[in-house]
Amino acid sequence: MTRHVLAVTLGDPVGIGPEIVARTLAEQSGADGHHGVAVGDAAALRRGVEAMGLDVEVRAVEGYGTEPAEGVIDVVDTGVLGDDVPEWGKVDARAGRAAVAAIEEATRAAMAGEVAGIVTGPINKEAIWAAGSKHLGHTEMLGELTGVTQQDTMFVVRNTAAEGHHLRIFFTTRHVALRTAIDQISKERVEESISRAHTALQVFGVEQPRLAVAALNPHGGENGNFGDEEIVHIGPACEAARSRGLDVAGPVPADSVFHQGLVGRYDGVLSHFHDQGHIPAKTFDFDGTISVTVGLPVLRTSVDHGTAFDIAGTGKAGPGTMLSAYLAAVDYAPFVDNIRASYGR
């Protein structure tokens, strides 16, 4: 049996990352077909194990080829902090540097083919900036490390209303103000986003993708009475995609398109701004919704929440989203060759 090895970064060592990584890898230790190896400071992981009250051994390893064992969490120790782990729940430049080092090591291992993919714990932007990073977050950092300038976010809702169906949600615009996002909508941008979403669905195993494109305005604009973006930009982009043979529906009113995707009518939905896609996914299943970075030559899944400094170190953090991110990486590990072939340089 092929065993897929995954590098799981701790995220910010003073946030909830070490706790939720510890709980996830403890539950998955000794599983058939996959092996999660933590990446970060071993002392931070041991502190996470203690906070969670877990009866497991943390084993520092030199690489990713060790034989997994039940009740054992392997960790590639980046050694940034040593035994001096900063206080829980406070922005700290040393913690930021440790989080960056873990991402760098995991990415190196993925690029070298030592692991099938990366699962990332939550980082704190203030902390990585205090450590000297100029990146807005994980996605930009991974882009620089892999030499990629165009990445997309693909939300995956694993636990949908249709059994065995994963709904993927894509975004025409990313982290910008709503007013800016609306201004950025154009036929060319929407058509390009449709093409990239269609490619991503194929890369991740959907042979004949069914993609829906959300409308921007209420009721799809009501023939221009509630806005004309559907007439001027979104509709023509959908028509152009269909003329190229893509199975694209839309624009479909946003108050129904996500439900239709969740029950299995579509494999993916293209939303146009941050909250249009985030709100329905997280409302339906917060813990079962994870993020995949599309466009990188490596597999990367992630939690889609922050460091929760207010509860860090208390053992109260729920590991559900980290577990979902890990299991999504297990699901997608067989497509690593597709990812490298499609997005490699």
Q: What is the per-residue pLDDT across 93-119, written as a single tens digit (0 to 9) for each?
A: 999 999 999 999 999 999 999 999 999
pLDDT over 80 (residue 336):
yes
Residues 1 and 142 in one domain: yes
Last residue of a domain, one of 237, 255, 284: 284
pLDDT tens-digit map of 266-295: 999 999 999 999 999 999 998 888 899 999
What is the model's pLDDT at position 163?
78
Residues 59 and 180 in one domain: no
Residues 6 and 111 in one domain: yes
Residues 97 and 144 in one domain: yes
Residues 51 and 135 in one domain: yes
CB 116 within 8 A of CB 336: yes
Could you give the CA distance from residue 310 to residue 300 in angstroms, rounded to a whole number?
27
pLDDT tens-digit map of 187-220: 999 999 999 999 999 999 999 999 999 999 999 9
Burial of 274 (0-12, 13-18, 19+ CB in 10 A): middle
Residues 5 and 68 in one domain: yes
Domain CATH number, residue 220: 3.40.718.10
Torsion of CA 232, 215, 328, 45, to 10 degrees: 90
330's tokens: 């297990």
Q: Which residues pair with 155 in a beta bridge?
A: 169, 291
211's tokens: 């993609």
Average pLDDT in the 240-257 region?
Answer: 97
Average pLDDT in the 150-167 region?
Answer: 85
Residues 17 and 70 in one domain: yes
The number of distinct structural domains making up the chain is 2
CB 332 within 8 A of CB 204: yes
Residues 164 and 199 in one domain: yes
Residues 265 and 139 in one domain: no
Last residue of a domain, one of 261, 284, 307: 284
Last residue of a domain, one of 284, 306, 325: 284
CB 80 within 8 A of CB 101: yes
Residues 146 and 9 in one domain: yes
DSSP secondary structure, 21-44, as one string: HHHHHHHHTT-TTEEEEEEE-HHH
Average pLDDT in the 151-163 region?
Answer: 85
Could you give the CA distance from residue 273 to residue 278 in angstroms, rounded to a whole number?
9
185 band by pLDDT with thresholds 50, 70 and 90: very high
Residues 17 and 94 in one domain: yes
Could you give the CA distance from residue 53 to residue 244 in angstroms, rounded to a whole number?
56
What is the model's pLDDT at position 1?
55
| Domain interval for residue 60 | 1-152+290-345
Residues 113 and 237 in one domain: no
